Amino acid sequence: MIAFIIDHYIFTRSAIQSLLTDGGVRGSIFTLNDVLKLDILCHRIIPDIVIISQRYMHSKDDDYILKTLIE
């Protein structure tokens, strides 16, 4: 599973896809505190994390970035 950190929240690929398609969230969203508390998430559920800085998110079109990430 690939997850993305956006403004201090971690969105799984399925969560981002559902946000783009219907505005709802059917995937998983974790806060950074959740992941720090549940160390198993970092190693087994979310092995590959892409960090997106807040500055980058606001300098580009958000939908374009999300669509590019999930492709």
Output b/e per residue, 11-48; b: 16+ Cβ within 10 A: bbebbbbbbeeeeeeebbebeeeebeeeeebeeeebee
Length of the chain: 71
- Mean pLDDT of all residues in 63-67: 53
Q: Is the pLDDT of residue 6 over 50?
A: yes
Judge whether 15 and 3 are in contact, CB under 8 Å.
no
pLDDT tens, 26-55? Answer: 555 666 555 555 444 444 444 444 444 444
Q: Is the pLDDT of residue 60 over 60?
A: no
Radius of gyration of the chain (CA): 12
Q: What percent of the chain has pLDDT over 90?
A: 0
